[in-house]
Amino acid sequence: MSKVCDICKKSTVYGNRDTHHHATGWAHSAPNRVHKTRPNLRTAKLLVNGVMKRVKVCMKCYKSLSKKGSN
């Protein structure tokens, strides 16, 4: 199951989570972790080439579709 928006191609973003540990020297440095930020996806039924299909869309695209009246 992919974690990608079918409209805007928004996907998982990786970043560093740094803890600010005031230590002296490298032996006592703070641990750094990599964390993931995933998009808030939702399934929606859209008319694609004359056929109703279920697509995964992020909430930003879903809100813009609902404002336009397509959803």
pLDDT tens, per residue, the chain with 71 residues:
689 999 999 999 999 887 776 666 666 666 778 899 999 999 999 988 999 999 999 999 999 988 876 54
Give the structural domain span for 58. Answer: 13-68
String of DSSP letters for 1-68? -----TTT----EEEEEE-----SSGGGPPPEEEEEE---EEEEEEEETTEEEEEEEEHHHHHHHHHH
Q: What is the pTM of this model?
A: 0.70
Asked if residues 36 and 61 have their Cβ atoms less than 8 Å apart, the reply is no
User: How many domains are contained in the chain?
Assistant: 1
The answer to whether the beta carbons of residues 10 and 4 sit under 8 Å apart is yes
**58 within domain boundaries:** yes
Asked if the structure places residue 5 within a domain, the reply is no
Contact 63, 12 (CB under 8 A): no
